[in-house]
Copies of this chain bind each other. A is one copy, B any other.
Amino acid sequence: MTDDTPFDLQDFLPYLLNQAAEMSSLDFQRYYKARYGMLRTEWRVVFHLGHYGDMTAKEICIRARIHKTKVSRAVSALEKRRFLTRTPLPDDRRHETLKLTAAGRAAFRDLYRAAQDFEANLTAPFTDEEVATLRRCLVKIAKF
């Protein structure tokens, strides 16, 4: 975009990204909220435990790029609703291993499948190459 090219708000990438992000997550958000009463961070925590196995809150913070205060609240809410349990580590009692319960694992499996379906729907209008380019750009912009 040169200095002389006027542009619409839709041409401004941060706006476009924001709109795409909102639209893309609406349906899935409704799904995990309606079925499991989960918020975004809670779904992300469940995802990490379900996908990578038991870990501490700290590890989730690093892997999922979520601040410790958010993880703390999410873990607390998930524990209250019996989606996970905490077990303090004997060698360092500041750490707790977080572990999905049977209900947590069931929710993960369902949400994981739902996520795959939503993903397939989102990418359906595009060619494999387009999707690859999209991902490559997003990864770079998101600074992963």
Q: Chain A: residues with CB nearer than 8 A to chain B? A: 1, 3, 6-25, 28, 44, 47-48, 51, 64-65, 115-116, 118-120, 122-123, 125-126, 130-131, 133-144
Contacts and interface: CB of A to CB of B under 8 A. Distances in A.
Integer count of this chain's copies in the complex = 2
Contacts of A119: 1, 7, 11-13
Contact of A12 (B10, B115, B139): B115
Nearest to A47: B9
Contacts of A20: 17, 21, 137-138, 141-142
B13 A122 contact: yes
Contacts of A51: 6, 8-9
